[in-house]
Structure 1
Amino acid sequence: MRAAHALFMTLTVLILASAVPLAPAKAFPSPFVKNASPAADKGETARSARTTRTTAGRYSVGAKPARWCGWWMRTQLGGGPEYNLARNWANRGRALNVPRVGAVVVWSHHVGMITGRTEDGQWIVKSGNDDGRVRERPRSVAGAVFRKV
């Protein structure tokens, strides 16, 4: 009888624990509503209105979508959910005419950050969702645009 009671109590605790949410859900403001901040007066949206910086220096940006290179860049540089789409990074920050270390590099389907250059002149790019993971490797930047964010 004691074993049955212990089993019953254990199952009850497990069931109740699974019904309790681990963290409160965060609400993200609509990307279509301008923030009432000085940045919004200039036609920009305030970065802090949509993302929060963690103690590790990364940004909290919500759940990872299926195509997540833009989402990963948001964890590094902040920005609203519209930046989950890689090509939207082509409009962020200031345009650069040539690639350089620290620049965001944007293709029509992918986004990453230039972190260095190889001895033979190829640019090293770090990006999310590169073969399903975060990778840093030499890549061709032909046809890409470069932004200072």
Structure 2
Amino acid sequence: MRALHACLLTLTVIFLSSALPLTPAAAFPGPFAKAAASTKATKTLVKPDSAGRHSVGPRPSRWCGWYMRTQLGGGPEYNLARNWAKRGRPLNGPRVGAVAVWSHHVGLITGKTKDGQWVVRSGNDGGRVRERPRSVAGAVFRKV
């Protein structure tokens, strides 16, 4: 019964996510538009399929890598966060626009706070997409 329920829930999520229009952040008021203007998030980096959706497959339970695929493209092997450490070219340190890769998480550096912390946008951060100051200790940095 649980397997059937999980299957129906997954199909519902896939159906609903495919039916939702993808709207650039600049179309939203307030902080979303400000964030989009400062990070150039309105530029689509993944080519949409013929139906206008990004074809990265269903979201797995650990989905930070999957979220990065929706932003930067890549195959299903990049659903696993640590595989982002092999993509693009290495950087000597953190900088805006770099992909920060930890052994268990991946995110995009979008800014720096006044006190020197790096601002990282990532999926599956507390169960949602968040952009927040974050320690980059132990991370490797890639230019994708």
Q: What is the TM-score normalised by the length of structure 2?
A: 0.65
Which residue of structure 1 lines up, in the alignment, with residue 47 of structure 2?
A: 53
Q: Which has the higher strand share?
A: 1
Q: For residues 82-121 of structure 1, what are the alpha-carbon distances to aligned partners after superposition, in whole Å with 9 as ceiling and x for unaligned?
A: 0000000000000000100000000000000000000000
Give the Cα separation in 2 of the matches to 1:143 and 1:129: 19
Matched, 1:110 2:105: yes
Match of 2:62 among 57, 61, 67: 67
CA RMSD of aligned residues (A): 1.8
Give the Cα separation in 1 of the matches to 2:142 and 2:89: 5
Give the Cα separation in 1 of the matches to 2:69 and 2:55: 8
Q: Which amino acid aligns with 2:48?
A: T
Task: Give secondary structure in 1 for the equivalent of 2:83.
Answer: helix
Change (3 A) 1:89 1:117: same
Give the Cα separation in 2 of the matches to 1:125 and 1:95: 18
* % same residue: 80
Give the Cα separation in 2 of the matches to 1:59 and 1:74: 9
Q: What is the TM-score normalised by the length of structure 1?
A: 0.63
Which residue of structure 1 lines up, in the alignment, with residue 85 of structure 2?
A: 90
Give the Cα separation in 2 of the matches to 1:116 and 1:87: 22
Give the Cα separation in 2 of the matches to 1:78 and 1:58: 13
**1:6-85 equivalence runs, <5 A:** 53-54=47-48, 59-85=54-80
Change (3 A) 1:139 1:84: same
Q: Which amino acid aligns with 2:89?
A: R
Change (3 A) 1:102 1:71: same
Larger Rg: 1
Which residue of structure 2 lines up, in the alignment, with residue 143 of structure 1?
A: 138
Give the Cα separation in 2 of the matches to 1:60 and 1:135: 22
Give the Cα separation in 2 of the matches to 1:79 and 1:58: 15
The count of aligned residue pairs is: 98
Q: Which has the higher helix share?
A: 2
Q: Is the contact made by 1:69 and 1:111 (CA closer than 8 Å) also made in structure 2?
A: yes
